[in-house]
Amino acid sequence: MLRCGIRRAVVAVLVLVALVAPAAPALAVLTARERTVLRSYLDALSAGRFGAAYALLSADERRYFGSSGNLASVYRADGLRILGYRILGSETTGKGTVAVVSEHVEFVDHAHSARGSAVAKVPYAVVAGANGPVIRDPGHPWRAYAPAAFTAERNGFRATIRKVSFFTGRIEFVVTFENRSAVPVTVLPYGRSVLRDANGTAYHPVATRLSSLTDKNLYIGLRLPSSAEYTGFITFATPDRFQPRSLQLSLAPALADGADAPFSLDFATYALPAG
């Protein structure tokens, strides 16, 4: 399962359609100034110069991320590096231009805790700013982390949080379930899971038909045989700009074959990095 920069190529297409709709798109060539701004943005991302990349974003995108540090956190959480790119073409409407870029990227495959690489087509919007063209780069969380140690285990059944992503109005956890016990275990984390912040306020999972918001396998219940594992995600509804000092997560219920009662996986309090 790949929930990183490659996935955002699909998400960004949907967002960019909204940005430039409703006029029908027409083939267009980027102007020299637009191409320069787009290349400068991609070069800055490729080199890890996130302050320079942030400065080239549109005003609404800068408000969304909040800081260059938050933009950097998104790339670092996925270990995402752009190794090379090629601008393939562009379409334009009255509201801006969408350029499609072929990117050779390297990233962390959270499902296998290993590095991977791929070539993906990623759209970027080049729109008019106060002093010339600027970039819209949607589909990202506004802040993200890859925790070094965020694990809970009980009865030989383990859950490890691989990535924490903050979006407007929701927080997403990429989680790996590992069954180290001798019997199959069924996990239904949409049943009684709860997330609490430092004030004790409770937040609950988002259950929808949208595959981008709800992991169907975890929603209907996942039965893991002994020695099996699964990496999926679970999303909780939060205030729009959720900035907790710490998080306390409980995933439940889980039921081992032959057991009299279900159990929960209760994580130790996770203190969020400053920034």
SS (H, E, C) 105-138: EEEEECCCCEEEEEEEEEEEEEEEECCEEEEECC
Q: What is the pTM of this model?
A: 0.87
Would you say residue 23 has pLDDT above 80? no
Q: How confident is the model at residue 182 (pLDDT cuts 50, 70, 90)?
A: very high
Q: Let me know whether 19 and 133 are in one domain.
A: yes
Q: How confident is the model at residue 263 (pLDDT cuts 50, 70, 90)?
A: very high
Sign, CA torsion 32/37/42/46: positive
Would you say residue 64 has pLDDT above 50? yes
Q: Let me know whether 12 and 128 are in one domain.
A: yes
Q: Let me know whether 20 and 136 are in one domain.
A: yes
Q: Let me know whether 169 and 114 are in one domain.
A: no
Q: Let me know whether 125 and 56 are in one domain.
A: yes
Q: Let me know whether 192 and 230 are in one domain.
A: yes
Q: State the chain's mean pLDDT as an integer.
A: 90
Q: Let me know whether 177 and 104 are in one domain.
A: no
Angle at 73 between CA 72 and CA 77, to 5 degrees: 125
Query: Of the residues 115, 140, 165, which one is the last residue of a structural domain?
Result: 140
Q: Let me know whether 189 and 216 are in one domain.
A: yes
- Give residue 9's pLDDT: 43
CATH of the domain at 190: 2.60.40.1240
Query: Of the residues 123, 140, 157, which one is the last residue of a structural domain?
Result: 140
- Give residue 112's pLDDT: 84
Nearest CA to 38 out of 158, 123, 131 is that of 123
3-state helix, strand, coil in the chain (%, to 5): 20, 45, 35
133 close to 116: Cβ distance less than 8 angstroms: no
As a whole number, mean pLDDT of residues 22-40 equals 76
Nearest CA to 65 out of 146, 139, 131, 163 is that of 139
Q: Does residue 164 sit in helix, strand or coil?
A: strand
Q: Let me know whether 155 and 133 are in one domain.
A: no
CATH of the domain at 68: 3.10.450.50
Report how far residue 197's alpha carbon sits from residue 120's, in angstroms, rounded to the nearest whole number: 36
Q: Let me know whether 74 and 109 are in one domain.
A: yes
Q: Let me know whether 80 and 158 are in one domain.
A: no
Nearest CA to 187 out of 269, 257, 237 is that of 257
pLDDT tens digit string along 128-165? Answer: 999 999 999 999 999 999 998 899 999 999 999 999 99
Query: Of the residues 109, 140, 171, which one is the last residue of a structural domain?
Result: 140
82 close to 103: Cβ distance less than 8 angstroms: yes
Q: Let me know whether 67 and 159 are in one domain.
A: no
Q: How confident is the model at residue 241 (pLDDT cuts 50, 70, 90)?
A: very high
On the 0-12 / 13-18 / 19+ scale of CB atoms within 10 A, 53 is buried
Query: Which residues constitute the domain of residue 125?
Result: 5-140
Q: How confident is the model at residue 28 (pLDDT cuts 50, 70, 90)?
A: low
Q: How confident is the model at residue 8 (pLDDT cuts 50, 70, 90)?
A: very low
Q: Does residue 44 sit in helix, strand or coil?
A: helix
Number of domains in the chain: 2
Q: How confident is the model at residue 95 (pLDDT cuts 50, 70, 90)?
A: low
